[in-house]
A and B are shown apart, each in its own frame.
Chain A
Amino acid sequence: MPEQQRRVEEWRAVRERQDRAARLVAVTFVVAIVACVALFIVYVRGGNTQWEGVLLAIAFGAIGLGLGLWVRRIVGPQVVVEKRPGMVSDEEHRAAFEQIYHESLGEARVGGRRRFLIRLLAGAGGTLGLALLVPLRSLGPGPEDELFRTAWRRGVRLVDAEGRPIRAADIGRDQVVTVFPENADALADAQAVVVGTRSLDPSALPVPDGVVDATVCYSKICTHAGCPVGLYRASEGELLCPCHQSTFDVNKGARVKSGPAGRPLPQLPIGVDDEGYLVALSDFSEPVGPSFWNLTHERGGDDE
């Protein structure tokens, strides 16, 4: 009976392959256990980011490999075929559903002239929905005139990040200093840069008199997307925003030389007080920071 013998042989071969695979799977699971024990030891001994990551990877990787071998080598490929009914309901069910639905509507007396009740209910529901949204307004104050003003006022001293006032003589040519209004809290929109320019053209400034010799002061907030205009390229006389590479010409009223910003950096008109320190003459020449829709409207509540 060679036929039967061959079958037995085949069966044995399959069995052997499966046994070999099972041993391999067992090894992977043992590796996972060892890795977990090692992880425990690493943790107890103070932890180590690299080893933790590697040991976790070994543990999970070994389990993944074991399961993969299990399904590929032991279970083996299997194919099942399922029926797939179309995703459209049978006309019979659909018709029955629609009939019951409309009969029920009839019981609720919705048909014909009562339809206005439905409309009214929808209206009430919609209004209620809007009413329920109203409390969201409590999440924030304004905007009133916050976007139009900053903490700068006439006579407020310019101070550096450490709070030290600045003398006009402290600003050399090609020097830039980030400044804030003295003793103010809201600094995010008030930040400005004082620049010692080389060839300032005062006629290009919104406030030509608001400079001290060749020293001029601009808002530090980019008019594009609000990043701090943090870089100064002395050779070109330009302020550069590192976020989207807008450049502003410090000699020409901080007009946009290149990049995606849409308007110049607003000027902070400055002067010198009795003690020789730089002070603001007013708030910025324009609203600072990224533009918004009513930018050009009359600003409210300006207390010069």
Chain B
Amino acid sequence: MSTEQSDVRRTRGDDLARWVDNRLRLAEGSRQYLRKAFPAHWTFLIGEVALFSLVVLLFTGIFLALFYTPDTTTVVYDGPYVPLQGREITAAYDSVLRLSFEVRAGLVMRQIHHWAALIFVVAIVVHMLRVFFTGAFRRPREINWVIGVVLLLMAFGAGFTGYSLPDDLLSGTGLRIGYSALLSVPFVGPLIGFIGLGGEYPGADVLGRLHLMHVLLIPGGLVALVGLHLAILVRQKHTQKPEGPARNDNVVGEPLFPNQSLTSLSLFAFVIAVLCLFGGLFEINPVWLYGPYESFEVFAPAQPDWYMGWLEGLMRLWPNWEFTIFGVTIAAVFIPGIVLPGMMFGVVFAWPWIEQKWITKDPREHHLLQRPRDVPVRTAIGFAGLTLLLVIFVAGSNDVIAADTRTGVHTVTTLLRIAVFVLPPLAGWVAYRVAVSLGTGTPAVQDDAVATD
């Protein structure tokens, strides 16, 4: 033990740390991380909101998994919810009803889980917008951009599989639509659909498979990729706003210890607090009202969770074009259900390279962020894309809008079809004009990126 004099008194924690360090020699490598610099701006915390929502999802999910059974055997409901008493339902739906009505703290856990899922996707999307509009995805961060988009897709997958588990009327409907999109793929669609469901719809063991994906494969993938996302972040260090002493070759910010770790812990607690408040007070996915899944029943208006709204809207807006060429039928849902989403995500994945090749023609390494006005073309395309998403998202509720405004669904759909072509270019043009008129001005710090390789 050291006998060095120090004005800081040794504590038991120090002794423990020494015990560990005596066996793993960690002090040398981790010393630098104690004062690692975190650029202090609230927009850097949006990704953390997603991370903390994921943690809440994992823990509440473990609790739910202890009560849920992915079993389609028929049972007669005899629980406390009167309207369903005596109904023949599946054991899966029964287990969700019991979790909701009979397990103490079960409903609050279920609702926190569902709210956390919604906020998780919101946080990912907002984080992504921040990264997009500030150019944080530029070299050397293209890899993390791609990983981030994969994470978004996995979040969709987690949401979709989870939504389908309770085996209520709405969950079965979502699954049916997803299966139809899969079935429409030329040549391999029926094969993939049958392999996926274990036979013709509704399949032999759908719930068992969805359950496995929802509680093991997807969360495992999410955790692994989030780990990689963060490891790359640590390796590459944060981007920063071009202000004050910030340069391309430094990082200016608050130290990890104690400032950033306290800030992050505080945010973590606030995220949990908001999710618990929502989970306690705001009813979500009341599966008992929807009733058990019956393949011949559905109710209107049927709508998915918000992040599926754009897919729903695409399917509602796309014309009923179905045709057969050389004996191959292109089903009506194939283009809006498979091709268009695939193309949209393709563009998002490839954005860092698209921009580098055709817009900025800038292959240099960047660590200083940009303002949206600094790259008007990117900003314009971003706004156009967002507007497109917004229009097709709204189209996912064309029936509700028609009912609320007392117009026909047909009229609403026609208007939205026009909007798809008119509004995105308009929004892009406005964004471009605004960006240009604000001017690039003189940023506080000149981007001094140097050409490398």
Known contacts A71-B262, A81-B252, A292-B189; decide if A188 and B202 are in contact (CB<8 Å).
yes
| Contact stretch, chosen from A98-106, A121-129, A199-207, A219-227 | A219-227
Is B273 in contact with A290, judged by CB distance below 8 angstroms? no
CB atoms of A51 and B176 under 8 A apart: no
Asked whether B195 lies within 8 Å of A293 as measured between CB atoms, the reply is no
Q: Does A115 count as interface, using CB distance less than 8 angstroms?
A: no
B148 to chain A, nearest CB (A): 18
Kindly supply a per-residue 1/0 record for chain A positions 278-298, scoring 1 wherever the CB is within 8 Å of any chain B CB and 0 otherwise. Answer: 000000000001111111110
A54 to B180, CA, bound (A): 41
Given that A75-B258, A79-B252, A136-B195 are known contacts, is A57 also in contact with B277, CB under 8 Å in the complex?
yes
Q: Mark B328-353, 1 if CB is under 8 A from A, else 0.
A: 11111100110000000000000000
> Closest residue of chain A to B262, judged by CB?
A71
B269 touches A67 (CB 8 A): yes
Taking CB atoms, residues of chain A closer than 8 Å to B236 are 87
Question: Chain A: interface residue count, which band?
Answer: 35 or more
Establish whether residues A80 and B281, one from each chain, have CB atoms under 8 Å apart when the complex forms.
Answer: no
Write out the residue numbers on chain A whose beta carbons fall within 8 Å of the beta carbon of B300. 230-231, 242
- The answer to whether A242 touches B184 (Cβ under 8 A) is no
Give Cα A151–Cα B183 distance, bound, in whole angstroms: 20
Please determine whether B190 and A147 come into contact, CB atoms closer than 8 angstroms. yes
Total interface residues on B, CB under 8 Å, equals 104
User: Which of A64, A180, A296 is close to B270, meaning CB atoms less than 8 Å apart?
Assistant: A64
Hey, which chain A residues are within 8 Å of B318, CB to CB? 260
Instruction: Please give me the residue from chain B that is nearest to A262 by CB atom.
Output: B322
CB-based nearest A residue for B321:
A262
Query: Which of A137-176 touch B at CB < 8 Å?
Result: 137, 139-143, 146-147, 161
Please, which residues of chain A bring their CB within 8 A of the CB of B316? 244-245, 260
* A43 and B105 form a contact (CB under 8 A): yes
List, in ascending order, chain B residues with CB within 8 A of A147's CB.
190, 200
Shortest distance between the CB of B308 and any CB in chain A (Å): 12
A51 touches B252 (CB 8 A): no
Listed from nearest, the 5 A-B pairs whose CB atoms lie closest are A53-B280, A262-B322, A64-B269, A262-B332, A242-B300
19 pairs across A/B with beta carbons < 8 Å?
A49-B107, A54-B281, A57-B276, A61-B270, A77-B259, A79-B254, A136-B195, A143-B190, A228-B296, A242-B399, A243-B173, A258-B409, A258-B410, A260-B320, A260-B333, A290-B180, A291-B329, A293-B330, A296-B324
